[in-house]
Structure 1
């Protein structure tokens, strides 16, 4: 059994969940690889007997880079697949997005798993929620889900894997499904502030150019953020020189209006 786990990650949370699952698959004797979206090829998806696709949750949905990758895959008729995600606030339709895109390629998506992860979004009202997640319990649950996948595949069962989240396969039409629906990349560019570069701090190391998940930063001669920015703030969070900043005065209120702890507690499970 050849298993490829393809993941998009910003801060490492989703990668760590992928690796926890991979341990179980390897213990079962399966040939397993974990593959970052930055280095993956279409062939990596095509050649797998079992394909896992994972991502973080952006604005209660799957982020643009992983969705674009899935849209560009060839047909995967009856390919066994599963999806997984990490979320620090309200997962909304993140699993459903991944499932739907694989389903349009005729893949047989047998399960979906969600883990919690610390929020690294730099909006002051969000940053730092769910500290130290994913934790040992999250990794245990990821391994248990992987063990269910092993049993499912070895048994030849049809249908869905035990322990899969129901919102993988069907929208709940809840509050955060609506938030995801209106939070297109264009809307986020309009609502959320664009990262700004401090030239005095920048040493032109090109880290941001390489790490931008939509290849939207180029040196000219200093980094310039282009018009395709999806407001993921990878440049802000990860710049080794702390050269990027964001003015959150108004946008923080917008984020708080949708993702305050009361709303995420009520509607964000």
Structure 2
């Protein structure tokens, strides 16, 4: 059976998990295709694949958790899946140790609505994407080799399930693990809300050389040069542009954001670890 590993990974952690999954599946003799939604050509190839009702496949779909939810490119991709096909699915997320929110449950629900059969899932601890300025960020050192081993075991188990024929689905309720008050807050959250809590993305025109590095690497193509970078409404606040700017021309002081994130992590009862669902 063909396995499709599709992911969005502005800061690299979800890409790492996707590579571990793909590597293990290939080691077990499977046909594997990997698609990065942040790269237009790969995104378009993946979209064409799921729009067609072809031979059965297993879709591994990965997202970082932003404001308790999957990122918009992942939601959009799932929305394009042609219903009625023979598609198994394994959603996975990376989260920064504050709260994994309802991302896995939302992804799994959308996949089931597209007639995908849910086989498993994973939430993988990673360095918090808004803490690159901190000497000791939440999720420091993750994903590590123990996280990778857990992901490899997931891939191996899914492979074994599929080799035995039609495997039983993972009950959706298994991914409904958050307390009610967390779920009630999470459904109200959005990228637009996050934009109000973060400092605005502004360009220092005295430093900027209009090199285009930010626009070229933006995973949602939200930046255009005119002649300086202009950030559009599709921005998902991954802040990759600020991180990678060679001239530090998009400065971002995240100290106040870090305080809020650490407070949220301290209040959360969620275990700060990787978990696999089978």
Q: TM-score range by the shorter chain?
A: 0.7 to 0.9
**For residues 255 and 141 of structure 2, what CA distance do their matches in structure 1 show?**
27
**For residues 236 and 11 of structure 2, what CA distance do their matches in structure 1 show?**
16
Structure 2 unaligned blocks of 5 or more:
273-278
Change (3 A) 1:206 1:241: same
Instruction: Select the residue among 164, 174, 187 that pairs with 1:155.
Output: 164
Change (3 A) 1:126 1:254: farther
State the partner residue of 2:63. Answer: 55
> Is residue 87 of structure 1 aligned with residue 90 of structure 2?
no
* CA displacement at 1:173 relative to structure 2: 4.1
Instruction: Select the residue among 111, 123, 133 that pairs with 1:114.
Output: 123
> Is residue 230 of structure 1 aligned with residue 239 of structure 2?
no
> Is residue 44 of structure 1 aligned with residue 49 of structure 2?
yes
**What SS does structure 1 have at the residue aligned with 2:70?**
coil
Change (3 A) 1:251 1:118: closer
Instruction: Select the residue among 74, 86, 90 that pairs with 1:66.
Output: 74
Structure 1 segments (4+ residues) deviating >6 Å: 123-127
User: Larger relative contact order (C-alpha < 8 A, sep ≥ 6)?
Assistant: 2
Change (3 A) 1:106 1:179: same
* CA displacement at 1:230 relative to structure 2: 2.7
CA contact (8 A) 1:114 1:165 kept: no
CA contact (8 A) 1:59 1:179 kept: no
**For residues 12 and 217 of structure 1, what CA distance do their matches in structure 2 show?**
19
TM-score relative to the length of structure 2: 0.84
State the partner residue of 1:182. Answer: 188
Deviations for 1:185-243, whole angstroms, at most 9, x for unmatched residues? 22222332221111222221212112223322111111011234332212122223322
Instruction: Select the residue among 138, 156, 162 that pairs with 2:147.
Output: 138
CA contact (8 A) 1:2 1:49 kept: yes
Instruction: Select the residue among 215, 226, 233 that pairs with 2:221.
Output: 215
Change (3 A) 1:217 1:239: same
* Aligned residue-pair number: 263
Change (3 A) 1:113 1:255: closer
What RMSD in Å do the two structures reach over aligned CA positions?
Answer: 2.6
* CA displacement at 1:165 relative to structure 2: 9.3
State the partner residue of 1:8. Answer: 8
**For residues 91 and 84 of structure 2, what CA distance do their matches in structure 1 show?**
15
**For residues 107 and 267 of structure 1, what CA distance do their matches in structure 2 show?**
28
Structure 1 unaligned blocks of 5 or more:
none
CA contact (8 A) 1:117 1:132 kept: yes
State the partner residue of 1:77. Answer: 85
TM-score relative to the length of structure 1: 0.86
**For residues 91 and 262 of structure 1, what CA distance do their matches in structure 2 show?**
14
CA contact (8 A) 2:129 2:238 kept: no
Deviations for 1:88-137, whole angstroms, at most 9, x for unmatched residues? 12111111121122122111121111111111214868972221210010
Change (3 A) 1:122 1:204: farther
CA contact (8 A) 1:119 1:126 kept: no
CA contact (8 A) 2:131 2:138 kept: no
* CA displacement at 1:18 relative to structure 2: 1.2
